């Protein structure tokens, strides 16, 4: 697909990213609704087990892929890294407001940009460095260390964004040899396997309500990634990225209306600053047409 083809449908791209963002926010709210009725590690495991049903259409491609020892190692490593990210994210959801989870998740593409420079040899131009520094200022605005307590939930979200960034970079290495659909499918399989021992350690009998909520979580996560794929097929990241700001708005509204969380203008301001920095990076790479660089796309990827 050429650049001209991709950039010729900006409205379609923005619509599908709008739908993706809405799906991800609903997914996050559903996890929040579980509260402390189930251990966060068990919830993460069941979300992936129930989501395996969505792999059925890709089974033929999965079975047809020849797995070398190198690919198995990379798939397994990514599964472990992503499993840590999922456990941290589910824990953070029980500790801090929806808006803070959403805003701090915006740091993932910043870590991806740094990791691509450190481990994949991508050039880190001055503008990228400046944008990363702006994003870090956004994190400081959200956390405000010294002015309020930085909780375990905040630390968990910092770890979530970091490990998700690592998972994204491993995916970029894998897609050089394996179709993207197969990479996504194997992620679900290996994360499920990696979570088994942790889930066993905290296992309690889940209620039917909790199972139903977690199946909806898996459904909305799958729908969100599908819509995001349609968005990126219709328009470049530089066009669709700003639409992801709506996720923060919806998360703030949902948190206040449904979970009675206070609206923190500092969180909104910090999240906006991080998103602006990431969007700037996307726009610059689009203008320079540097397709070899890792696109800093924002999504929960959970």
Kindly list the domain boundaries of the chain, sorted by start residue: 3-288
How far apart are alpha carbons 97 and 91 in whole angstroms?
12
Residue 295 has a pLDDT of: 52
pLDDT at 298 over 60: no
| Average pLDDT rounded to a whole number, residues 147-172 | 90
How far apart are alpha carbons 107 and 82 in whole angstroms?
16
pLDDT at 22 over 80: yes
pLDDT digit string, tens, across residues 192-203: 999 999 999 999
pLDDT digit string, tens, across residues 62-85: 888 888 999 999 999 999 999 999
What is the distance of C-alpha 252 from the center of its chain? 18
Work out the widest C-alpha separation in the chain, in whole angstroms.
55
Question: Three-state SS for 148?
Answer: strand
pLDDT digit string, tens, across residues 259-287: 999 989 999 999 999 888 888 877 776 66
pLDDT digit string, tens, across residues 90-103: 999 989 999 999 89
pLDDT digit string, tens, across residues 234-254: 877 667 777 888 888 889 999
Helix residue ranges, H only, the chain? 3-6, 10-34, 40-51, 59-64, 69-93, 98-105, 108-119, 126-143, 152-174, 180-201, 208-234, 237-240, 245-257, 265-288
* 22 token code pair: 């809405």
* 157 token code pair: 């979200």
Query: Exposed, middle or buried, 172 (CB in 10 Å: 0-12/13-18/19+)?
Result: middle
How far apart are alpha carbons 210 and 266 in whole angstroms?
33
pLDDT: which is higher, 147 or 262: 262
* Tokens 């600053």, residue located: 273
Residue 9 has a pLDDT of: 78
Kindly report the average pLDDT of the chain as a whole number: 85
pLDDT at 294 over 70: no
How far apart are alpha carbons 8 and 236 in whole angstroms?
10
Question: What predicted TM-score, i.e. pTM, was given to this entire model?
Answer: 0.85
CA distance readout (Å), 92 to 99, 101, 129, 154: 12, 7, 28, 7
Please report which confidence band the pLDDT of residue 301 belongs to, taking 50, 70 and 90 as the band edges. low
Please report which confidence band the pLDDT of residue 86 belongs to, taking 50, 70 and 90 as the band edges. very high
pLDDT at 8 over 80: no
Please report which confidence band the pLDDT of residue 2 belongs to, taking 50, 70 and 90 as the band edges. very low
Residue 1 has a pLDDT of: 42
Question: Three-state SS for 67?
Answer: coil
| Average pLDDT rounded to a whole number, residues 165-181 | 85
pLDDT at 52 over 60: yes
Please report which confidence band the pLDDT of residue 296 belongs to, taking 50, 70 and 90 as the band edges. low
pLDDT digit string, tens, across residues 118-134: 887 777 778 888 888 99
C-alpha dihedral sign at 25, 28, 29, 30: positive
Residue 138 has a pLDDT of: 92
pLDDT: which is higher, 287 or 12: 12
């Amino acid at each position: 697909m050429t650049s001209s083809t991709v950039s010729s449908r900006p409205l379609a791209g923005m619509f599908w990213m709008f739908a993706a963002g809405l799906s991800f926010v609903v997914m996050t709210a559903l996890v929040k609704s579980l509260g402390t009725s189930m251990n966060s590690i068990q919830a993460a495991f069941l979300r992936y087990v129930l989501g395996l049903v969505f792999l059925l259409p890709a089974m033929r491609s999965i079975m047809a892929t020849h797995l070398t020892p190198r690919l198995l190692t990379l798939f397994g490593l990514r599964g472990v890294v992503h499993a840590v990210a999922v456990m941290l994210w589910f824990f953070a959801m029980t500790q801090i407001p929806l808006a803070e989870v959403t805003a701090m998740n915006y740091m993932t593409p910043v870590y991806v940009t740094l990791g691509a420079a450190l481990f994949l040899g991508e050039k880190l131009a001055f503008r990228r460095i400046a944008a990363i520094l702006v994003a870090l200022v956004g994190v400081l605005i959200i956390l405000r260390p010294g002015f309020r307590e930085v909780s375990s939930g905040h630390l968990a979200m910092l770890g979530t964004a970091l490990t998700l960034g690592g998972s994204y970079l491993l995916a970029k290495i894998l897609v050089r040899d394996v179709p993207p659909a197969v990479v996504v499918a194997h992620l679900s399989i290996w994360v499920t396997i990696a979570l088994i021992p942790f889930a066993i350690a905290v296992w309690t009998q889940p209620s039917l309500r909790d199972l139903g909520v977690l199946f909806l979580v898996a459904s909305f996560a799958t729908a969100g990634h599908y819509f995001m794929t349609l968005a990126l097929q219709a328009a470049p990241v530089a066009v669709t990225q700003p639409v992801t700001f709506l996720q923060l708005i919806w998360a703030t509204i949902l948190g206040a209306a449904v979970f009675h969380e206070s609206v923190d203008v500092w969180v909104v301001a910090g999240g906006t600053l991080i998103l602006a920095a990431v969007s700037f990076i996307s726009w610059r790479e689009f203008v320079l047409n540097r397709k070899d660089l890792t696109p800093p796309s924002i999504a929960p990827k959970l």
